Chains A and B, each alone.
Chain A
Amino acid sequence: METTPADAALLAAIGEGDTAALHALYERYGGPLFGFLYRLAGDRGTAEEILQDTLLAVWRSAHSFQGRSSPSTWLFGVARRQAHNRLRLMPPPVPAEPYELADPEPGPEEAAVGAERVQRALRRLPLQQREVLALSVLEDLSHQEIAEILAIPVGTVKSRLHHARATLRGCLDERVS
């Protein structure tokens, strides 16, 4: 998502305790942040809780934003940290066998790659691969931006992205066949 100088001004205003600025920031970034967190958490309830944690962290620490990264990179970095804090305390989802989740007699519509099917397959990926995939595909962030958010080299972003897509493709093909 493209950031503007107004985003940095919003963060500066939040840093000074301006509640209207927090509302404005949420209006602008609430959708992308929630989409990212939903893909990481796997369910709406947990994603909402992490979104609350993220907004609280933004409210309490916007003063430390110094513009070295773009506002969106900073926001996604904070969201990702909050997600890790909460998700590491939760037991990982049990990886289900493909046949357990597939319908007994899959029709042609099940053979297509559906959103729900993808979401369930996504939950079987390691968190590190899930976050790279979500940032790349959902938010259209460049490899460089993702590398900044996750504090990892660009090469690692590319390799995690490739493995995530290949694993996801494998999960889906396995279930369709």
Chain B
Amino acid sequence: MSEFPDLDAALRTGPPPPPGPAIVRSVLLRAATTPVELGRGSRLGRAWHLLLAEARLMHRAVWVTGAAVMALAVVIMALQPHSIGWLLALIAPLVAGASVATLYAPEHDAAFEVVAATPTPPRVILLARVLLVLGYDLLLALAASGLSLLRGGVPYSLGELIGTWLAPMTLLAAIGLALSVQWNPEAAVAVSLGAWVLYALSHTHLLSGLPPGWRTHPLTYAVAVAMLALAVLIEPRRRLPATHGS
């Protein structure tokens, strides 16, 4: 029940009658004579606006959870310096794998259908989201690495520390995205988590026989990049047919 019934009554009156059916003919003419607009400004400007728009659409939990987990890791490393060598190597891939696995979920995305009604190709939107989330997780991990070295006396250089987490992080993110796109986000999270557990165990004597390629190795990067590229190139076309009518 409205608190202002007279206001609502006044709001209901007043809109003039809509234009006649001729507007539909104008629209059809416009559709036939104008190409689909891809936006104004330079390519770089359009890409920047797209990234900003996607960042606003994505769930806040993606940003907050990653930052919170990484902040916790920094605190632990500050309190227990001996954990620096392995903690980031475990946490950074976990954060990236989980967040990338959940970024493509049309079934749970309230804005999906409206976004699909724009002329921006779905695979560009997916690529923008991957760049945003992976870039954000990368920055968090870099910041955590830098902060952990501030106290001094750490037997690692920054490059060595980055080398402990970069390859598994990229590979887990690629696995999460590929499964999320081809299967579903829940399964992607579950498999990514399973892969991460295997990876974590490979740091212990329980699973020390895992191939070195799983850790930092050029092959790991190559596989990860190939999986990311395939996920972005193959999927969205399957669910969203091409635009018509122009």
Q: What are 20 A-B pairs at a CB distance below 8 A?
A: A19-B28, A22-B27, A34-B15, A34-B19, A52-B26, A57-B117, A58-B117, A59-B27, A61-B243, A64-B117, A64-B241, A77-B117, A115-B10, A118-B14, A134-B11, A137-B12, A138-B11, A151-B114, A165-B3, A169-B7
Cβ A22 vs Cβ B19 within 8 A:
no
When distances are taken between beta carbons in the complex, the residues of chain B under 8 Å from A55 are 23-24, 27
Q: Does A155 touch B at the CB level, under 8 Å?
A: no
When distances are taken between beta carbons in the complex, the residues of chain A under 8 Å from B118 are 57, 61, 81
Cβ B246 vs Cβ A51 within 8 A:
no
When distances are taken between beta carbons in the complex, the residues of chain A under 8 Å from B14 are 115-116, 118-119
Interface residues on B, range: 35 or more
Q: Does A86 touch B at the CB level, under 8 Å?
A: no
Output the least CB separation between A161 and chain B (Å).
9
When distances are taken between beta carbons in the complex, the residues of chain B under 8 Å from A1 are none
Q: Does B245 touch A at the CB level, under 8 Å?
A: yes
Secondary structure type dominating chain B contacts: loop
When distances are taken between beta carbons in the complex, the residues of chain B under 8 Å from A78 are 114, 117
Q: Which chain A residue has the least Cβ–Cβ distance from B246?
A: A60
**What is the interface of chain B, defined by CB distance below 8 A to chain A?**
2-4, 6-19, 21, 23-24, 26-28, 30-31, 36, 57, 110-114, 116-119, 240-241, 243-246
Cβ A151 vs Cβ B245 within 8 A:
no
Q: Mark A102-133, 1 if CB is under 8 A from B, else 0.
A: 00000000000111111100100000000001
Q: Mark A141-160, 1 if CB is under 8 A from B, else 0.
A: 00000001001000000000
For the complex, count residues of A whose C-beta is within 8 A of B. Answer: 54
When distances are taken between beta carbons in the complex, the residues of chain B under 8 Å from A137 are 2, 8, 11-12
When distances are taken between beta carbons in the complex, the residues of chain A under 8 Å from B112 are 68
Q: Which chain A residue has the least Cβ–Cβ distance from B242?
A: A63
Q: How many A-B residue pairs have CB under 8 A?
A: 128
In the bound complex, how far is the Cα of B31 from the Cα of A52, in angstroms?
10
* Sample of 16 further A-B pairs with CB below 8 A, known A57-B117, A60-B243, A65-B113: A26-B21, A48-B19, A52-B30, A57-B118, A58-B117, A59-B245, A60-B31, A68-B113, A78-B117, A113-B10, A117-B10, A118-B7, A118-B10, A137-B11, A165-B7, A168-B4
Output the least CB separation between A22 and chain B (Å).
6
Output the least CB separation between A173 and chain B (Å).
10
Cβ A48 vs Cβ B23 within 8 A:
yes
Cβ B23 vs Cβ A26 within 8 A:
yes
**What is the interface of chain A, defined by CB distance below 8 A to chain B?**
15, 17, 19, 22-23, 26-27, 30-31, 33-35, 38-39, 44, 48, 51-52, 55-61, 63-66, 68-69, 74, 77-78, 81, 113-119, 122, 133-134, 137-138, 148, 151, 162, 165, 168-169, 172
Q: Which chain B residue has the least Cβ–Cβ distance from A119?
A: B14
When distances are taken between beta carbons in the complex, the residues of chain B under 8 Å from A57 are 117-118
In the bound complex, how far is the Cα of B114 from the Cα of A78, in angstroms?
6
Cβ A17 vs Cβ B244 within 8 A:
yes
Given A52-B26, A59-B245, A113-B6, answer yes or no on A31-B18 (Cβ-Cβ < 8 Å).
yes
In the bound complex, how far is the Cα of B24 from the Cα of A19, in angstroms?
9
Cβ A138 vs Cβ B15 within 8 A:
yes
Given A56-B30, A113-B7, answer yes or no on A17-B18 (Cβ-Cβ < 8 Å).
no
Cβ A60 vs Cβ B7 within 8 A:
no
In the bound complex, how far is the Cα of B216 from the Cα of A141, in angstroms?
55
- Contact among B7, B16, B24, B30 with A38 in the assembled complex (CB-CB below 8 Å): B16
When distances are taken between beta carbons in the complex, the residues of chain B under 8 Å from A168 are 4, 7
Cβ B21 vs Cβ A23 within 8 A:
yes
Output the least CB separation between B113 and chain A (Å).
6
Q: Which chain B residue has the least Cβ–Cβ distance from A67?
A: B113
When distances are taken between beta carbons in the complex, the residues of chain B under 8 Å from A165 are 2-4, 7
When distances are taken between beta carbons in the complex, the residues of chain B under 8 Å from A19 are 24, 28
